[in-house]
Amino acid sequence: MFIDIPSELEAALTDRFLPPWEVDGSFLAQSAVEGYRSALAAAPRFGETAAAVRRALAEEGGGYAVLRLGNVAKALGADGGPFLRLVTGFAAEVAVPFSPFPRWPLWKDIGVRVDKDPGKSSGTGYNAFHMDLVNGTLPPDYTTLLCVRPDPLGGGASILSDAHAAVARLPQGSRALLAESAYHYGTFFDLHGVGEEYKPFPVLDGSGPGGGFVRFTAKMLERSRLGQAHADAARELAEELVRGQVSFMLQPGDYLIVNQRRFLHGREALHAGQENVVATDRRLFLQLFLRTRASGSPAA
């Protein structure tokens, strides 16, 4: 699932200029998709690298990929426009980039705030397993994270778990409860490209074993009112997700792509002492969402 960039492609990417992108509503404009694809296709071994990413996301037992762009990030600057446009070009080889948040640009900053709820993405604590935009009828097909700076104190490992494998380990009674529309979480305000609010929703959407979203966020166990039986079934799933998790530290320039129809994601707590780290030196990730053409993008 970790994909290194061939040296000849690295060299070509550092010299490859991509123009600023344009958007069509919430989505990367089709003209930008085609322009980036045309510019990158001529780079040596770009096509096979992009194909390796797609295979890692779709093949049996797969569902996530980490594209290791550290050397390119070092040459161009991990938080600079030229590098971000290159990463956007790679993302567009998987699906159509979009932003569900009108108040944010295409890429959303996820920094660290010591005054924030520790369990939030920008907090300092453990961010439990979840899928993004869980309460939309049309969640992003992929969530992606670009590491600009890891936690300088050494915490904050990324965690992933195969949601369908976790569900398969549950007893039939628990799976039946998770398939009922009894769950709800969060608000739904000023969002684009993710359908309508889904409330209540089933954790299992009825697509059959190994198919569809597993609409789960561990936060709903603490922040939603659930009947005892449904809460217990969700806790069983949370335990199985932890049991099957993988974890790793992303480095500057690493680009994580997660297929939300297969894997849930989260983050270990950052190392203690974040209040002593200068804000501009704290962990910084950038987030981008992707939509397949078959499920609702204007390019469909």
Residue 277 to residue 90: CA distance in whole angstroms: 32
Distances (CA, A) of 194 to 36, 99, 139, 271: 25, 10, 5, 34
Q: How far apart are CA 108 and CA 86, in angstroms?
A: 16
Backbone φ, ψ for residue 24 (5° rounding): -115, 95
d(CA 135, CA 227): 18
What is the model's pTM? 0.95
With b for 16 or more beta-carbon neighbours within 10 A and e for fewer, the 105-132 pattern comes to: ebbbebbbebeeeebebbbbebbbbbbb
What is the reported pLDDT for 294? 62
The answer to whether 18 and 39 have CB atoms below 8 angstroms apart is yes
Q: Check residue 186 and give its pLDDT.
A: 86
Euclidean distance between CA atoms 183 and 179, whole angstroms: 10
| Residue 162 C-alpha from the chain's centroid | 14
**CA-closest candidate to residue 86, choices 13, 163, 161, 181:** 13
- C-alpha gyration radius of the chain: 19
From first to last of its 300 residues, what are the pLDDT tens digits of the chain? 899 999 999 999 999 899 999 999 999 999 999 999 999 999 999 999 999 999 999 988 899 999 999 999 999 998 889 999 999 999 999 999 999 998 888 999 999 999 999 999 999 999 999 999 999 999 999 999 999 999 999 999 999 999 999 999 999 999 999 999 999 998 898 999 999 999 999 999 876 556 689 999 999 998 788 999 999 999 999 999 999 999 999 999 999 999 999 999 999 999 999 999 999 999 999 999 999 976 655 444
Set out the domains of the chain in order of their start, with CATH numbers. Answer: 2-291 (3.60.130.10)
Q: What is the pLDDT of residue 59?
A: 86
Look up tokens 């990030």; give the residue: 73
Tell me the C-alpha distance between 201 and 211, whole Å: 16
